[in-house]
Chains A and B, each alone.
Chain A
Amino acid sequence: MNYFDFLEIPVSYNLNELQLLRIYLQKQSQSHPDVGVATSNQDDSALLNAAYKTLMDPLKRAEHFLQVKNVNVEETLPEVMMQAFELQENYSALTSLEDKKIFQKKLKNQMEAMLESLRETEENLQEFCKIFSRLRFIGSFLEKVCDDVHDRN
């Protein structure tokens, strides 16, 4: 399923989020089960929600973009593995909640910066793919950090 085609927007990582929102709402107002006969529209509406959710999220959008472009993301680049190891070690060395929160903030900023460079490398798929595979790791690691910080709060 190509969500870009489904929403009738150009296949590009750099999309206008406001425009995406407008298209999504306009299509939902025709497909949502609440505007038509009960069951027939559920599938279309669900697909719209999946497409919107995927394309609105910068990481999921990158993954989908690569998938549409038929680029395989290698599971474990050695350099990513190394970085992962380092991050994990640095984090588990932290004891105070304050330090963990600072770490969380730094990681968030790092992710923002990488997302920015992702936007700039759309033309160079190989580079895009490299940044994405690092981002994917940091994204899931950040999620764990957020859960941990939340638990200790």
Chain B
Amino acid sequence: MFTIGIDLGTTMSLVAHMDGEIARILEIGGKIAVPSVVNYSEIKPIVGYEALYRTDAANTVFSIKRFMGTSKKFCGRSAVEISADILFHLKNSAEQKLGRKVDGAIITVPAHFSDLQRVATQQAASIAGIDVLRLINEPTAAAIAFGLDKKMDGIFAVYDFGGGTFDFSVLRLTDGIFQVLATGGDNYLGGDDVDAAIFEHNLRNHNLNSKNLGENEKILGKLAAKELKEQLGDSQEIRKKCFIGNKNYEFELSQEILADLMGAFLRETTEIADETLSNANVARENLDGVVLVGGMTKIQLLKEHVATHFGTKIFDDINPDEAVARGAAIYAHSVASKQEAAKSKDNSPAQGPLLIDVVPLTLGIETFGGGVDKIIHRNTPIPIVEKREYTTYQNNQTGIKFHVLQGERPLAEECRSLARFELNNIPPMQAGQPRIIVEFSLDVNGVLSVKAREENTSIMQSIIIKPSSGLSDSEIASILEKAWTYRETDATRAWNINIKVESERMLKFWKSILEEIPSDAGDIARKKMEDLQRALADEEYQKAIAVREDLENIFGPFLAEIISSHLAGQPLPCLKTQN
């Protein structure tokens, strides 16, 4: 069984696979990470750098992960469908690159993702044709990548500050068992927010207002802000040109300004961290270390802040961008091989780590009067089954309405509504006579199903919580059907067509930037591009893949620079100018 790990990020996504004992990041298009950006200007969705490069805001979707579990639509598509397009691109690229079918995958989600957001992610995977072994939490995945590297026992915290979300998890490591003690976080706190703050700060310096800017300009401006943030490093101050309207503006960032802009965000993260530690019953001084994960943790200032706050060893020697995907790949491989061993009744002891995670948010039922009866408390290890008994309030009451909620607040209206359902046909009895057992069952993916049963009569209702704003099974089926019309049903044919379409698109893209890479590389590239065209014409697809990989490696190192040179002034084809 061949498995991969997918880190489906807010701004960037990564794929990793096992190469023997080592988890390797798969390079896609010559880069380790694919921007989680989709462009819908053509029949087939365009994902990644190419979508970003188009700077076609009207048809492009960014940071869709922030909208998982909601009913918002972008370019006429739901968040589930858009995420499915990203996932399909990742899986498809992995299959083409590795030359084998992916049988299963682990997809990571922020630890603080709600039930609805988890189900939405599962739906997206199923539309993308991915068999999901497990959803696992990002910080836990990072801990796996980290713990196996170090082979050490103790109590650790993972501080995961990514592009769109912040997670903090406390784990105990014992002989390869990763036991999550508590987790906390904010789904709407990420590097994106810092980029936006840097962008706004620079606009203010130039007396500009983001309200007067076109969407494309905002995208480019925020990208410039992100680059300033990433490139500042140890230097005191850096500058970058940014093209707005029809003018070049100089954007700048200094250590002081960055500290000022990040201050509030950092305080928020350490507050969440302290609360999570207290929920785990672990004192700061009892931590054996803090693992840093996520793009934001590369910032020197942040490292210092975290180190001072926790006063313990900071582990930043694993690549914070890659850890999550690598951990997912390791765990996917481990789960798959253990399940295979169990199936074949192999008696040799199963190898690999075991993960016992917790539910991030409390689950409950709305009570009479708008309160919440908490049924599964946050930080309870999963899987778990909990039961509660309820009864009727009025004589001869024949039905009961249930409102399933998620959140820590004491009032129902302040919690997230997961689902509503009714138990009907209760035989008329005196108030208080019926015995209605409600059972909450949470599986290893953190996905909830609820059953309600009247004990005297065995009338039963059961539901699996689906995002009320998400997609029904029939909707998913119809999307799948649509998807297959461009994915083709015949596997080999689909495979070949995919390679052809993908290659032709890449050729078009490379041609457009050929002049922008150094001429010696350009000469080799030109020759290789001819080879690729010939291979496609001759239907030699294996060869085409090999040549395409060479080309990816030639262009890969220059891509970031080319994109930023476009940012620095050369107007892009569809950039709106305003004055």
Contacts and interface: CB of A to CB of B under 8 A. Distances in A.
Interface string A14-27: 00000001000100
B177 A25 contact: yes
B380 A49 contact: yes
A52 B355 CA distance: 16
Given A28-B177, A28-B354, A34-B444, A49 B383 contact: yes
Interface in A16-65: 21, 25, 28-29, 32-38, 42-43, 45-47, 49-50, 52-53
B107 to A, nearest CB: 15
Interface in B160-199: 174-175, 177, 179
A34 B383 contact: no
Contacts of B479: none
B266 interface: no
Nearest to A42: B383
B177 A29 contact: yes
A152 B134 CA distance: 38
A147 interface: yes
B334 to A, nearest CB: 8
Contacts of B175: 25
Nearest to B172: A21
A28 B356 contact: yes
Nearest to B134: A34
Contacts of A52: 381
A150 B381 CA distance: 24
A50 B386 CA distance: 8
A42 B355 contact: no
A34 B335 contact: yes
Contacts of B177: 25, 28-29
Interface residues of A, number: 22
A120 to B, nearest CB: 22
Nearest to A53: B380
Nearest to A47: B385
A150 B279 CA distance: 12
A32 B356 CA distance: 8
Interface stretch (B337-345, B430-438, B536-544): B337-345
Contacts of B383: 33, 42, 45-46, 49
A34 B104 CA distance: 14
A34 B335 CA distance: 5
Contacts of A42: 383, 443-444
Interface string B350-367: 100011100000000000
A49 B382 contact: yes
B338 A34 contact: yes
A74 B432 CA distance: 20
B270 interface: no
Contacts of B381: 49, 52-53
Interface residues of B, number: 27
A46 B384 CA distance: 4
Nearest to A150: B275
A25 B384 CA distance: 15
B441 interface: yes
B177 to A, nearest CB: 5
Most buried by B among A29, A34, A43: A34
B331 to A, nearest CB: 8
A35 B175 CA distance: 15
B370 interface: no
Given A46-B385, A147-B410, A36 B354 contact: no
Given A37-B342, A37-B343, A42-B443, A32 B380 contact: no
Contacts of B354: 28-29, 32, 34-35
A27 to B, nearest CB: 11
A27 B443 CA distance: 18
A47 B443 CA distance: 12
Contacts of A33: 383, 443-444
Contacts of A38: 339
Contacts of A45: 383, 444
A34 B339 CA distance: 7
A37 B338 CA distance: 8
Q: Which of A28, A42, A46 lies at the interface centre, i.e. has the most chain B CB atoms within 10 A of its CB?
A: A46
Contacts of A34: 134, 334-335, 338, 354-355, 444
Contacts of B179: 25
Contacts of A49: 356, 380-384
Contacts of B339: 36-38
Nearest to A37: B342
A46 to B, nearest CB: 4
A28 to B, nearest CB: 6
A110 B405 CA distance: 33
Nearest to B381: A49
B171 to A, nearest CB: 13
A119 B355 CA distance: 33
Contact of B338 (A28, A36, A53): A36
Interface in A50-95: 50, 52-53
B269 to A, nearest CB: 16
A46 B335 contact: no
Contacts of A46: 382-385, 441
A60 to B, nearest CB: 11
B429 to A, nearest CB: 24
A35 B340 CA distance: 10
Interface string B373-388: 0000000111111100
A32 B383 CA distance: 9
16 contacts: A28-B354, A32-B354, A32-B444, A34-B355, A35-B350, A36-B339, A37-B339, A38-B339, A43-B385, A49-B381, A49-B382, A49-B383, A49-B384, A50-B384, A53-B380, A147-B410
Given A35-B338, A38-B339, 20 more contacts: A25-B174, A25-B179, A29-B177, A32-B356, A32-B444, A34-B334, A34-B444, A35-B342, A37-B339, A37-B342, A42-B383, A43-B385, A46-B382, A46-B384, A46-B441, A49-B356, A49-B381, A50-B385, A50-B386, A147-B410
Interface of B: 134, 174-175, 177, 179, 275, 334-335, 338-339, 342-343, 350, 354-356, 380-386, 410, 441, 443-444
A-B residue pairs, 10 tightest by C-beta: A49-B381, A46-B383, A36-B342, A46-B385, A35-B338, A49-B384, A34-B335, A37-B342, A46-B384, A33-B444
Interface of A: 21, 25, 28-29, 32-38, 42-43, 45-47, 49-50, 52-53, 147, 150
